[in-house]
Structure 1
Amino acid sequence: MLQLPNHSRVKPLASLEDAYELCRQITAKYSKTFYLGTMLMPEEKRRAIWAIYVWCRRTDELVDGPRASLTTPETLDLWERQLESIFAGHALEDADVALVDTLERFPIDIQPFRDMIAGQRMDLYRSRYETYEDLELYCYRVAGTVGLMSLAVMGVDDSLPTAPWAQSNRSSIDPTEQAIALGVANQLTNILRDVGEDARRGRIYLPLEELALFNYSEADLFNGVVDERWRELMRFQIQRARKVFATAESGISALSPDARFPVWAALILYRGILDVIERNDYDVFSKRAYVSGPRKLTCLPIARLRAMVL
């Protein structure tokens, strides 16, 4: 997976088309809901998002993947040097070919990529978060950064509306904060969905002071206890995640017109996972919360309407 530059490599890197196709296949396989949203984008933008997604996934797998036990701080140092090579226009692996091309087409800054690697460093030595503020920093690094990367691809609508009352509203919107909020909201949703899976790996991402607030212990969590304490704790967590999604919503109208529909769709679909958790009576230990295919299709007309009128 992760390689040092190998100047004696015999096999050539993938062609540009094959590299993008590889990224498409990986996105479609591992993030079906996200992939559906990308298919609503113009071709150039969706291909760029696939390239970014695959880099992010590969980064995440260094700590959470099948070979995570072999990852050290030096591994992440090497990964960051490979990132610098990509930004310099030099691909080292097949998927890098697509990302190099994406960086040539869109003005993406390297800092969110560095911040994401910093988030993986947190996972190397932390398996608990005492406060929400601690967790929020982690969520920014591993997911809010994705919002920043994607914003450069989505683009901002610089056109001014003709109505004077609309001009002042539009000009005051900078969607950067909202882009970060969408990434953070998605990560909070992931955390709530994956409580059981993370517990099996010895990790707790829910803030410990909030567990204590609801008199729910680490032992209860590791034993998968679903009682009224747990339900109240999860209601509290879901309410906060929905507030962060609401913050993200306020920036969508500032995006380029061709990006609004897919972003609305992705937001509605991902937020739908919270609804499923509620319908499962907050049992995230034995039930996987996911949005069904038919329900995904019913969300699309709503997303289209919101993209047109909001």
Structure 2
Amino acid sequence: MIHSELDAAGVQGAQLRAAYQRCRALNAAHGKTFFLATRLLSPRQRPAVHALYGFARRADDVLDGFDDRTTAARADELQGLADALHSRLVLDRVEGDDPVLDAVVDTARNYGLDWQLFDDFLASMRMDLTVTDYPDRAALDRYMYGSAEVIGLQLLPVLGTVVPREEAAPHAAALGKAFQLTNFLRDIDEDLTRGRVYLPADELAAHGVDRDVLSWCQQNRRTDPRLRAALVEQHAMTRRIYEHAELGIAMLEPQSRPCIRAALTLYSEILDCIEEMDFEVFSRRATVSNRRRLQVAGRGLIDAWRARARHGEA
């Protein structure tokens, strides 16, 4: 299967093909929902998506690996990753052997992805080394632009559009933002264990929630009524962002729409789950069942086959 994808994408050379295979393996192992949705894209699109995921995963592993590396060591590692990508992508200078960078640079050149998108992403990753709280929505939005919205903007050329790309871009960025906000709501417990709170402090404070309240919730595995009220508000805001993002699906190439619709459906259903469990995010993890994933993927696969057949793609 992977070889047919690489052939369809025009990836040549044993080293480069192995690099893309490495990224695909990372996606399959660590991004199960995302990988499942990627299967709905045409074969020619999949390697690029795997490459972008592989690079994002590399940066994420620097930040969140549970080991004894110091903050300074992680900062040095992240800077080394940034320098290596800049050297390859901007200066056209290859130093060392790094299959993930081989693949992502090839993708960036094939789809005209600017270095600035990667630089903005890495800037937000650097914030995660030292920033643990966000005082207001503006501060959180600055972080999410680099950590989530640019991912949507990177994927947009791969997905293709039937309108000018700049018209679809705000919706693509909104989808990345909606996905990340969903993660923030689902993973409050896990993030707090890492010392981080990814909800605006002033919006929590409006409901009487601070770190002491969050710590009480974590210790007692219960959601305090004040936090529940705050989460209801955050949940509604995230739902509105999904609605804005969904408007962009019709702007994509028909072959790409089933994939993005499936991803949006599955991720937004995590929001449904959070609401159904009455925001008890410290005692349960909101997930979509494997059965539901396969149901959505199966429907999307049929739609994807039909779209590709209409446009002469396998």
User: So what's the TM-score if we normalise by structure 1?
Assistant: 0.84
1:252 aligned partner: 249
Corresponding residue for 1:76?
Answer: 78
User: Is the aligned partner of 1:283 residue 2:280?
Assistant: yes
Paired letter, 1:40: L
Deviations 1:55-114, CA, capped at 9 Å, x for gaps: 011112222223553535444332221111331373741222222332342221111110
Report 1:129-208 matches (<5 A): 129-158=134-163, 174-208=167-201
Corresponding position of 2:6: none
2:293 pairs with 1:292: no
Q: Any idea what the Cα deviations from partners look like across 1:22-41, whole Å, max 9, x if unmatched?
A: 11111111111111110001
Per the alignment, residue 99 of structure 1 pairs with 104
Q: Distance in 2 between matches of 1:173 and 1:123?
A: 29
- Distance, in Å, in 2 between the alignment partners of 1:86 and 1:248 is 33
Structure 1 distance, partners of 2:298, 2:18, is 33
Q: SS at 1:223's partner residue?
A: helix
After TM superposition, the structure 1 = structure 2 runs for residues 40-51 of structure 1, keeping only pairs within 5 Å, are 40-51=40-51
Q: Are residue 211 (structure 1) and residue 204 (structure 2) matched? A: yes
Task: Determine the C-alpha separation between the residues in 2 that align with 1:259 and 1:106.
Answer: 15
CA–CA separation in structure 1 for the residues paired with 2:165 and 2:121:
28
Alpha-carbon shift at residue 229 of structure 1 (Å): 1.8
Question: After the TM superposition, which of the residue ranges 64-73 and 52-61 deviates more from structure 2?
Answer: 64-73
Alignment of structure 1 residues 7-156 onto 2, 5 Å: 15-67=15-67, 69-70=70-71, 71-87=73-89, 88=92, 90=94, 92-156=97-161
Work out the CA distance in 1 between the residues paired with 2:152 and 2:93: 23
Unaligned runs of 5+ in 2: 1-12, 308-314
Quick one: structure 1 residues 108 and 210, their matched pair in 2 at CA, closer, same or farther if it must change by over 3 Å? same
Distance, in Å, in 2 between the alignment partners of 1:268 and 1:126 is: 31
Partner-residue secondary structure (3-state), 2:167: coil
**Deviation for aligned residue 1:297:** 2.8
2:9 aligned partner: none
2:4 matched to which residue of 1?
none
Task: Please tell me whether the aligned partners of residues 62 and 74 of structure 2 are also in contact (alpha carbons under 8 angstroms).
Answer: no
How far, CA to CA, are the matches of 1:75 and 1:20 in structure 2? 22
**AA matched with 1:76:** L
Q: Deviations over 1:284-310 (max 9, x none)?
A: 22311111111123334775799999x
Which amino acid in structure 1 is aligned with residue 81 of structure 2?
W
Q: CA offset at residue 16 of structure 1? A: 2.2
DSSP-derived class of the 2:81 partner = helix
Secondary structure at 2:17 match in 1: helix
Moved more, 91-100 or 137-146: 91-100
Question: Structure 1: which 5+ runs fail to align?
Answer: 1-12, 159-170
TM-score by length of 2: 0.83
Contact 2:213 2:224 in 1 (8 A): no
Separation in 2 of the partners of 1:240 and 1:254?
23
1:174 alignment partner, SS class = helix
What CA distance in whole angstroms lies between the structure 2 residues aligned with 1:101 and 1:287? 41
Higher mean C-alpha deviation, range 195-204 or range 213-222: 213-222
Amino acid at match of 1:80: A
Could you tell me the percent identity over the aligned residues?
37
- The CA RMSD measured in Å over matched residues stands at 2.5
CA displacement at 1:124 relative to structure 2: 1.9
